[in-house]
Structure 1
Amino acid sequence: MDKQLKLRVVTIGASVLMAAASGYLMQSQPGAAPAPGMAATGPVPSAPLPADAGAPAPALAAVENDAPAPGAAAPEAPVAQSTPAPMAVVTEMAERAPELPAAPQIAPAPQIASAPQTASVAEVVSLPETKPAPQMQPAPQILAAPETQATVASVAPALVLPAGAPAPDTGTTGLLSARFDGMGAPCGAARLSLRALPSDAPQTAGMADLVLSAPCEPNARIRLTHAGISFTVATDAEGRYAARVPVFETEARYEAVLPDGSGLSARTRVEGLSDLLRVALASSPGSSELGLNVREQGAEYGAPGHVHAGHLQGQQGWMIRLGDASLPSAQVLEVYTAPVQTPDLALAIEAPVSAGTCGRDMRARSLRKIGAAEAEVTPVSIAMPECDGADGAVLMPLPDLPFSVASAG
């Protein structure tokens, strides 16, 4: 507390103390005014100050009354009134009053040391300020590839005819969808078509036009199969192959086998086969040197009527050669066709002797169809001579045909 505040407290306390003391002295000391109804006993003496007061206490003004007359009632004593002490006395008393001990100053509570602030991870490890990641563009929606109608290895369904119904003259087309090139890109469907040719002309009787379109197979080896015999061909730069092919069945069916092993087929109905005599030689892979020799009416080798790969047109019949002998594992087909009543025909298989054919067996399949009879397939094997450097050819006669092929139908 400051000095002024302490002085005010002491002054107020002294005033209260003096007022209480004055009241006490007025009521308890002699000379005080008598209570009502009682005579005054004499003047009210002044109350003595305490010994340590140092200054005389202020006197109380007492009013003394004359003694009452005998027999008269005592007059009412006037009430003594106190004379207020001078201000100087009060001030002096306040100054001389014992100084109250100052309230002990409460020592401030010891400051509790704050716990050391634990460093956060961000304070311990100063991470470099990262820039907001650039907003990624939404990935383009990938459209699902349309479902293909057929797998790569699927084969077009065969044409099914009801019993007794005539087959259409136009051929059917085999379709192989979902084709892809070597880079996996779609390159178009493969198609095989077969169409019968008119039977009233000698060069078209029993024949059909075959067309293969395989855009994914340019310059490729293709194996064509019909009636149990096969030959190999090559497509062009656009994957196409077309040829006029012989048939051995009225309900003709050709199948094309692609390099990946998948296949597709086509059918057609061919009329007029019962008027033809047809013999074929189909070499096995690696035996494409084999050839068919036909001598009409006993013709000598190299004479007119000797029909072979080097001379396709005879006096009574004609020959067709199919297949590409330059392909790996090539298979070649040679077919001789003549009217069914052609007499005196001698047929043989010729195998040239060379460094590539000597010392091994050469194999082929022979197929013949005479008139309305069913086609017959016969396996053929020729043992070639040793490789002693000799040139020439091996001739193996085929079974003789009936003199009158008309009776064989």
Structure 2
Amino acid sequence: MQLQAGRMRIAAVSVVAALALLSGGQMLARGWAPAPGPGDVPAADVVGQADAAVPAEATLDSLAAGTGAAGPQGPVPVPVPVPAPVAAVAAAPDCRTRLALKADGPLLELSATLPCDAGEVVHIAHAGVRFSRPVAADGTLRVVFPALAAEALVNVTLPGEESPQLIETPVPGFDMRSVLGLAWTAGDPVAVNVFENGAAFGEPGHLRAARGVNGAGAVGRLFLLGDPGKAGTPLTAIYLVPKGGIDAAIELEVSSGKGRTCGRDVVTTRLGAGPDGDLERAVMRVTLPDCGEPAGWVLLPIARLEGPRLAEAENG
């Protein structure tokens, strides 16, 4: 009986365990969980909060805008546009003009910087002698010409300007008696010849200013100011007597031929020292032969230099 009673107790315990397992499985199936601790949130509440966070009627647009069935959800950051890169702007060129004038013995040197005027023409005037020079490709200008006064005043008219700029410089030791010149108009059949130390035409010591060509072996210097290729513009030939003097003859050459170089007058102006030693001008008029006569040229003496002394030539 005791044995049977023990078996009955074991069977009863088994039945209770089986019922407990069956009951626990049903609890787990119904969502049973262990009792919550002090800081835990019941699972049912978590599920309810998740369902309330995203209402069924919410859309992607309302979520992006922060609105929906539950109301605004706070500010939405607005993207800041990135500005497009700005292209570099080239600095404006420096077009400031710089002029300078200095004396080197009997010569004047005019220099200019004109960065924005390459190829343009600068007009120069000194003691009544007018000529022009183009600006070089690099925007610079350098002109050397004889001084015609002890206090050199030079007017410079820059490209695009109407009024000239006046610059000046002293010329120490200037002596007008060392300067001889002749002015005429480009296009006229005129040339100036200087024969030094008895030189003949074309020999060393012969200088000829027609198109700015100087001969070899010369002691003095012959300058041609102006542009022979621009008819109607002024030309001036200036001979600088060497320091200490020289034996030389200066002649005016006027060609005669058909067309506009015959049967008319050619007017030139002689430049030299006057009685007071200052620059003096004298007009010279040459009548060309009639057009029916053979072509040729007329040579007129302008001055004769004998050592350190200057002798005026007779013009007849």
The verdict on a shared fold, with TM-score over 0.5 as the criterion, is yes
The answer as to 2:268 corresponding to 1:364 is yes
Taking structure 1 as reference, are residues 334 and 395 closer, same or farther at Cα in structure 2, changes over 3 Å only?
same
Question: What letter corresponds to residue 182 of structure 2 in structure 1?
Answer: L
Aligned residue number for residue 246 of structure 1 = 146
Contact 2:103 2:170 in 1 (8 A): yes
2:219/2:242 contact within 8 Å kept: yes
Of the three residues 339, 342, 348, the one matched with 2:251 is 348
The 8 Å contact of residues 313 and 319 in structure 1, kept in 2 or not, is answered as no
Cα 1:327/1:190, change in 2 over 3 Å: farther
Partner of 1:100: none
The answer to whether the 8 A contact 1:273-1:372 is kept is: no
By how many angstroms is 1:397 displaced? 1.7
Residue equivalent to 2:102: 195
Q: Distance in 1 between matches of 2:310 and 2:226?
A: 31
Deviation at 1:318, TM superposition (A): 2.3
What is the CA distance between 1:207 and its match in structure 2? 0.9
Does residue 376 (structure 1) correspond to residue 280 (structure 2)? The answer is yes
- Larger CA Rg, structure 1 vs 2: 1
Whether the aligned pair in 1 keeps the contact of 2:151 and 2:171 (CA below 8 Å) is: yes
Counterpart residue identity of residue 193, structure 1: A
Decide which of 203, 228, 234 is 1:331's aligned counterpart: 234
1:392 is matched with: 296
Q: Normalising by the residue count of structure 2, what TM-score does the alignment of the two structures yield?
A: 0.56
Deviation at 1:285, TM superposition (A): 5.2
Contact 1:231 1:282 in 2 (8 A): no
Whether the aligned pair in 1 keeps the contact of 2:304 and 2:310 (CA below 8 Å) is no
Alignment of 1:7-406 (within 5 A): 188-197=95-104, 205-214=105-114, 217-237=117-137, 240-258=140-158, 261-274=162-175, 277-284=178-185, 286-287=187-188, 289-309=189-209, 310-339=213-242, 341-354=244-257, 355-369=259-273, 373-388=277-292, 390-400=294-304, 405=309
1:90 corresponds in structure 2 to: none
Percent identity reads 28
The SS at the match of 1:396 is strand
In structure 2, how many angstroms separate the alpha carbons of the residues matched to 1:237 and 1:221? 12
Verify the 8 A CA contact 1:210 1:244 in the aligned structure 2.
yes
Distance 1:304 1:211, change over 3 A: same
CA 1:258–1:407 in structure 2 vs 1: closer, same or farther (change >3 Å)? same
Q: Residue type of the partner of 1:283?
A: W
Aligned residue identity for 2:192: L
Partner Cα distance (1:285, 1:266) in 2: 27
Whole-Å separation in 2 of the counterparts to 1:246 and 1:375: 13
Q: Is the Cα contact below 8 Å between 1:275 and 1:340 reproduced in 2?
A: no
Relative to 1, partners in 2 of residues 1:326 and 1:213: Cα closer, same or farther, differing over 3 Å?
Answer: farther
Unaligned runs of 5+ in 1: 1-184, 198-204
Cα deviation digits, residues 345-373 of structure 1 (max 9, x gap):
22111123344533333233221249992
Name the structure 1 match of 2:60: none
User: Cα distance 1:265–1:302, how it changes in 2: closer, same or farther (>3 A)?
Assistant: same
User: Offset at 1:210?
Assistant: 0.9
Larger relative contact order (Cα-Cα within 8 Å, sequence gap ≥ 6):
2
Q: For 2:178, what is the secondary structure of its paired residue?
A: strand
| Conserved? CA contact 1:254–1:265, under 8 Å | yes
How far 1:267 moved relative to its partner?
0.9
Superposed CA deviations along residues 109-155 of structure 1, whole A, max 9, x for unmatched, are: xxxxxxxxxxxxxxxxxxxxxxxxxxxxxxxxxxxxxxxxxxxxxxx
